[in-house]
Amino acid sequence: MFKVSATLLLSLSLLIDFATAANTDKPNFIIIFTDDQGYGDLSSFGSKSIKTPNIDRLADEGRKFTSFMVASPVCTPSRAALLTGCYPKRVGMHQHVLFPASTKGLNPKEHTIADHLKGQGYATACFGKWHLGHHPEVLPTSNGFDTYFGIPYSNDMNHPDNKGKPQGGFAGMDVLWKDPQSTLTKWKTPLYEDTKIVELPVDQRTVTRRYTQKAIDFVTEHQDESFFVYLPHSMPHIPLYVPDEVRDPDPLNAYTNTIEHIDSEVGRLLDTLDELELSDNTYVIYTTDNGPWLPFRHHGGSAGPLRDGKGTTFEGGQRVPCLMRGPGIPAGTVCNELAGTIDLLPTIASLTGKSLPRKRVIDGMDITGLLLDTVDKSPRSEFIHYTSRGDLEGIRQGDWKLLVKKARNQRNNNSPKPPQVFLFNLHDDLGEQNNLAETHPEIVAKLKARMIEADSEITDNARSAWFLEE
């Protein structure tokens, strides 16, 4: 009996070792997702005032994507799109952002990046801003993540009803920046661990560092397994805070100070991957949820050469910086082809060799060829533009981009103003300054018909968000 048991134990041990080895053959994934960072806010994307040597390592050692889009110009719908590979309207998360009193969230029935990787035995974690519902039923632990640590909504929101917020505007942000203690005296923003509030108010000076440390600890703990870390930083969304020991007291330097602090923390994480000899088998993706919040001026960032910023469907609102490094990605290369956050789920599925559920329609496309530079053209030929409230507003096909903007603030509803129609050739006019709608009516008509057709399909097949039962 002893010999048989020993043999069985040896066999089981070998099977476990084999399974572990097979699992660790799969690549790891880290997605660093900042908040409200503009296209022009990295050195590698042209910033002359912000120094980001650590983030720029991803450009030097990987691939820079210059035409990378988010599916919404505001937080909640953009994050839903990233995780599900869908336009936010398809998953019912398109109608602006969630607040502390909101009663909806991302439906746990959706198949997220975390769900897909967890189903393959990955250890999964989310450290940072969630903003897809703060109720226990829809927090990260109900959407494929083993663990969560972070702020459940934006860092300018107060628990539980969002009342009592400090004065806004850049002048109000100046006051907060000059008073670092304001993170504790002026706000009631909560910090969650899994499904429980563990700090109220959260000390926002330390969150960027604490999120990063959680990621470092998780990677270290799971270095012998396959892992996925989703690291959605709360910053540089206002109000801006950094640790006291690195703070520049001049509010005019607040945004620069904040981005450079994020950069240093990215450096710590990249150094950890190097020290653990995990860099060669880990995809690191750095991007952001939408463009800069321009009205906040020196607290808001820059869109670089792009028009406008957060909240708009102009390029400054939805074209974002993106850097990717990992196995097979050629170092120091640039991709100018159209891609976006909705493409990450099918691409990650392709990189792991595990197909997505066939019955669940998504809008993302596999851009593995763009990552590895094995194809010249993106599989994505078009991109649909929705407003921050989920209204259909435009489409891009190739270099052509159409926007049809409804007139707002109309006092006389009996005589509504016609919509503003914009047509841009982004190849020749990246800054969207030259409206070609009148000279190319045939292109306007073609694109308008196609965007309505695409939106109709999404609307007809949309799935419901989760709602709190009364």
Cα first-last separation, the chain = 60
* C-alpha span between 378 and 339 (Å, rounded): 7
3-state secondary structure at position 241: coil
* C-alpha span between 56 and 455 (Å, rounded): 37
CB atoms within 10 A of CB 199: 15
* C-alpha span between 137 and 470 (Å, rounded): 14
Are 402 and 447 spatial neighbours (Cβ–Cβ below 8 Å)?
yes
Residue from 137, 164, 153, 42 nearest 99 by CA: 153
Look up 335 and say whether it is catalytic: no
Look up 75 and say whether it is catalytic: yes
3-state secondary structure at position 220: helix
Kind and range of the H or E element at 392? strand 392-397
* C-alpha span between 326 and 331 (Å, rounded): 9
* C-alpha span between 262 and 385 (Å, rounded): 29
* C-alpha span between 150 and 349 (Å, rounded): 26
What is the residue type of 23? N
3-state secondary structure at position 393: strand
The residue from 94, 116, 131, 134 that is catalytic is 131
Cis preceding-peptide flag for 140 (omega within 30 of 0): no
* C-alpha span between 113 and 20 (Å, rounded): 21
Alpha helices in 251-337, H assignment, sequence order = 254-275, 315-318
Alpha helices in 390-438, H assignment, sequence order = none
* C-alpha span between 148 and 208 (Å, rounded): 15
* C-alpha span between 364 and 344 (Å, rounded): 7
Residue 159 makes CB contacts below 8 A (sequence gap 6+) with 100, 188, 189, 190, 197, 200
Report the relative pairing of strands 392-397 and 382-386 from DSSP bridges: antiparallel
Active site residues: 75, 131
